[in-house]
Structure 1
């Protein structure tokens, strides 16, 4: 795999992001969606996250080809969860196994810490999804639970693995409510 760079995603990346996600929906359990969303829907999702100041990044090779993307978003919609984010990392099939997912995840962790988030949660489709579990373990995540037989895709039941990584001061200090990293819960 040639050299690549990580950068903030832009609206111009949406077609490539949509194609990568389409493959993940149709061929894997990383997403529990059954029908891949189109570019218009992926644009809405991108705008919703970036509009709330959540990090959204891509890995791009020297020719401008998007190899993968990652973003952090709200873990849950209730205000008490506002200091926790859920990560998502998706790679083009040709980009898997070259450390790009790790680079994306580690940068996403850095950006989330810089923004002041305190916990990152991974929600992994499939307790047999070893590459994703291993990726998160190597980044310092620990398994906090398995929601057994919680998804049904490709004619079988799928477990959901929850993993967690403390960010920054995590739960050791109280947050300054005025410094909430996003805009979603601000008055």
Structure 2
């Protein structure tokens, strides 16, 4: 089963903005993914998720995620997230977590899968990913949604990743009380 089939079958999509094939072998998803469901008020009415991976950018091939980036409100959601989606990650996946309550960046391994975690206080995952891969918004502006994701995927192969390796416990110790800064009109 592909990651997107799993997500759809288990109704784990939340406010998707894009969900389609981006090439003959790749599938793209942008939106949020449910980590912990909201309270079910009736058969048809459910409250918003208690926990979610927000601003997800996911590119999958066959039954594995090749690229994954998201915002987590707290690093405390990571284990719940991983437990739900772990079957779709492998050692070749590139995984970027932008976490609001981290006080430092780091690369850590969890059950054989490597994750790069970064502090996020006021930007968006999309902007951070573009910066990470040194892509200019102007270069992507005229591209279709599919081509934007393909461009990011193509950059994965040519990027060298550097950060300080930490254990999972060291990453958990970096959790602080930082809240996301809301920018713009109030």
TM-score in terms of structure 1 length = 0.32
More helix by share: 1
TM-score in terms of structure 2 length = 0.32
